[in-house]
Structure 1
Amino acid sequence: MTVSNDTNQLAPSPFFIVMNAGSGDKDAVQREDAIRSVLAAGKRPYRLWRVSDIRRLPEAAREAVLLARQQQGTVVAAGGDGTINAVVREVLPSGSPFGVLPQGTFNYFSRAHGIPLDTEEACSLLLHGVLRPVQVGLVNQRPFLVNASLGLYPKLLEKREVHKQRFGRSRFVAALSGLATLLAPPPRLVLALDDGAGSDVVHICTLVVDNNLLQLRQVGLPEARAVQQGELAAIAVKAQGVGQLISALALAVLGKLGEADAVESFSFKRLSVKPLHGGRRIKVATDGEVTWMVPPLVFQAAPDSLLLVVPRSKTVGGEGG
């Protein structure tokens, strides 16, 4: 990593940008043009990988990290939280500086760190921002920036993807898919949780481990204070039926999830999770991407921080933009 005399200030160096364009996305062309225009005006060298097949994201990210290390450059992810996660998996072990050009639906990671949602503004930030260490969560050594979950949420994500492929990719289809999943009987998980201070057996429909101040504040959980200080927040939803689940979701929308009877939350430094019933693998969603993992699942903050390009006057957990 190359920095100027101000240890937080990025020195002029090349950017290596991995962009999730999406097949046939006309907006992606406009975003790419905006990126090239801003960097050309700033006279900053760069290389951009425009990836239409998400299966090629890891390959492009590895190449970007290799060149960034060779040329003391900054790796940049252009996309939503899932794209950012895919690139961070390669960046985190390298220690390279990291930038974000948010292009997703919710953009929780970018917003929590004050990164503008407008592509031109976010690209300008790359030229004038500073480096700050940012906490990354791990589940069995797999990084996550926003949250990791098991139970209902991975199921919802998988159903949504099936419905999008069948009916088209739109927010309307995503909303109907989510509603259909929520109206079905929620899954039942029996988990043994061990945070080092003691173990407990819980019967829940979903477990979410959160690493995002903004998301925790929006749903109204006090554990937001602990996140980014070496701890993560666990949210166990114990809803036994559709009615309790809908009630908890309504309170989350109102920013009062902490008042839900069917929800228990706590902060921790290390949490071991082991299903007491089921197969040898369990589905886990990390920043919206579903994968299979072998229990026990161990959640903790990564020992090394991510060096993120942020605004000089960034407010942690702010809305950004």
Structure 2
Amino acid sequence: MMQPPPAGPDAPLFIVLNAGSGRDNADEARQAIEAACTQAGRRFRIFLIDGPDRIKPLAREAVERARAAGGVVVVAGGDGTINAVAQATLGSGCAFGVLPQGTFNYFSRTHGIPRDTAEAMKNLLTEQPRPVQVGLVNDRVFLVNASLGLYAELLEERETYKSRYGRSRLIAFFAGLLTVMRGHQTWRLRMAWHGQERDIRTPTLFVGNNALQMQQVGIAEAEALENGQLAAIALKETGPLAMLGLLVRGAMGRLGQADQVLSFPFESMTVKAARTRGARRLKVATDGEIGWMDMPLLFRVSPEPLWLIRPEVAPELEAAKE
């Protein structure tokens, strides 16, 4: 039986705060953090991310200091920032805390952590570390999802639209709509899992590790994510209009009912190019962050969990199951 790391009422907090979502939001979050820690008599230190190249080094420093002091590593940011700090924290022996600051906040919502920073601080200061499943692709952490092909392209272009027009769910939806209608490349992939092997032509492969997101788009394998598995979703080769129909189905929570969708649960899966002279490197998105990876890709459940400080019950996830 795995034992949770210590995170008692005297454990100091080492908080990585992303200022990228806007100065006013960052200032408000910082004030809420300082007020809650002062009121609780909790020691803390804030590491302010003031540029994209500062996330990884500050995450590593926060983890090193937390390990030395028996403290808790905390991240205040969106899913991408949470991913980077989780990558540094996994396997460190430190408890992990989240103060959500993003647009969708799937990770925090799935685990019952409030969007409001003051409320999230109450959770952080009173709850206990509980194990949370982590997905890996070539040893790169993903807490929400990992993808290649069209979905990764959609995420990359969505950031361009957000930088021009602002960060909102409506902007994200219309950015995705424009990407889908423009057309897309088809990938020939060979997937191997549970002793099975299958070749597929697909515009995108999506691997989910977030039950709330899977339930919202209507994928039946959402339950598998709470039982030590990941969920693979591949779209069969189709045209722009059919792809638009799939986008609408996903928005209505009925994606899994479409004939063009292949989905299945797994614990470990290898993905490579179906042709010998296929791609050797390709773009992979992990929790919305794009990076190049070498083929073949190995998707798997991490052998050790992330010890997240969270409530025992997540109201939004429970409501989605009904």
Cα drift, residue 247 of structure 1: 1.2
Q: Distance in 1 between matches of 2:8 and 2:242?
A: 49
Q: Distance in 2 between matches of 1:55 and 1:168?
A: 23
SS at match of 2:184: coil
SS at match of 2:90: helix
1:108 alignment partner in structure 2:
106
2:308 alignment partner in structure 1:
308
SS at match of 1:94: coil
Amino acid at match of 1:98: F
Amino acid at match of 2:180: L
Q: Distance in 1 between matches of 2:319 and 2:106?
A: 9
TM-score w.r.t. length of structure 1: 0.93
TM-score w.r.t. length of structure 2: 0.92
1:287 aligns with 2:287: yes
Amino acid at match of 2:31: D
Deviations 1:80-109 (A, max 9, x none): 100000001100021210000000000000
Of 193, 196, 205 in structure 1, the residue corresponding to residue 194 of structure 2 is 196
SS at match of 2:87: helix
Name the CA shift for 1:127/1:244 in 2 (closer, same or farther; >3 Å).
same
1:137 alignment partner in structure 2:
135
Name the CA shift for 1:114/1:23 in 2 (closer, same or farther; >3 Å).
closer
Cα drift, residue 314 of structure 1: 4.1
Q: Distance in 1 between matches of 2:315 and 2:27?
A: 31
SS at match of 1:317: helix
Name the CA shift for 1:164/1:312 in 2 (closer, same or farther; >3 Å).
closer
1:66 alignment partner in structure 2:
64
Name the CA shift for 1:223/1:10 in 2 (closer, same or farther; >3 Å).
farther
SS at match of 2:91: helix
SS at match of 1:227: helix
Of 151, 160, 181 in structure 2, the residue corresponding to residue 153 of structure 1 is 151
Cα drift, residue 12 of structure 1: 2.3
Q: Distance in 1 between matches of 2:210 and 2:292?
A: 23
SS at match of 2:225: coil
The alignment covers a number of residue pairs equal to: 314
Q: Distance in 2 between matches of 1:244 and 1:96?
A: 46
Deviations 1:69-89 (A, max 9, x none): 001100001001000000011
| Structure 1: unaligned runs, 5 residues or longer | 4-8
1:6 alignment partner in structure 2:
none
2:208 alignment partner in structure 1:
210
Amino acid at match of 1:154: A
Q: Say if 2:73 and 2:96, in contact at 8 Å, map to a contact too.
A: yes
| Structure 2: unaligned runs, 5 residues or longer | none
Name the CA shift for 1:2/1:162 in 2 (closer, same or farther; >3 Å).
closer
1:125 alignment partner in structure 2:
123
2:166 alignment partner in structure 1:
169
Name the CA shift for 1:271/1:312 in 2 (closer, same or farther; >3 Å).
closer
Q: Say if 2:5 and 2:94, in contact at 8 Å, map to a contact too.
A: no
Q: Distance in 1 between matches of 2:240 and 2:23?
A: 37
Amino acid at match of 1:137: G
Q: Distance in 1 between matches of 2:244 and 2:206?
A: 16
